[in-house]
Amino acid sequence: MIDLIVNFFKGFPSEVIVLILSMIPVIELRGGIPAAYAMGLPLFETLPLAIIGNTIPVPFIILFIKQIFKFMKKHNILSNLIDKITQRALDRSDKVESMEFWGLMIIVAIPLPGTGAWTGALIAALIDLDFKRAMLSIGLGVIVSAIIVSFLTYGVFNFFV
């Protein structure tokens, strides 16, 4: 799938591709960093691009997703999908509600499907977490996730070069 997206953006600078891939839900920086590696970008360029790209959608999700979902449900636009996404996020929200700041950070930091900045931002919005604390928690989670994915992608030896 990442190859398909990279081919779609053929002709764009590699840095732009990494930034865009890192913004896309589900793919996020878990796909942006391996794509950067495949395109030959060095780690010191990849990390900031992936972190910035993954973080760009977060404030918009936290601030506007509830209104967007409400509008879409009112006009019967993808209502079933919205219900599934909302339920999936709420299922993961138990950890966040019990551990608050650290729980949200951990959910974002774990680089597995169904976790990440988009999920964290959706959870923060749905359970009405404080915006500044949610942003800080998600930001830290994105950084930890970027380090984990970079370490796994670039390897132990390349990580420190």
Instruction: Per-residue pLDDT tens, the chain, 161 aa: give them.
Output: 656 766 777 788 999 999 999 999 999 999 999 999 999 999 999 999 999 999 999 999 999 999 999 999 898 888 898 888 888 888 877 777 778 899 999 999 999 888 999 999 999 999 999 999 999 999 999 999 999 999 999 986 565 55
Distance CA 94, CA 87 (A): 12
Q: Where are the domains of the chain?
A: 2-159
Q: Which two tokens stand for residue 135?
A: 């942003």
Amino acid at 36: A
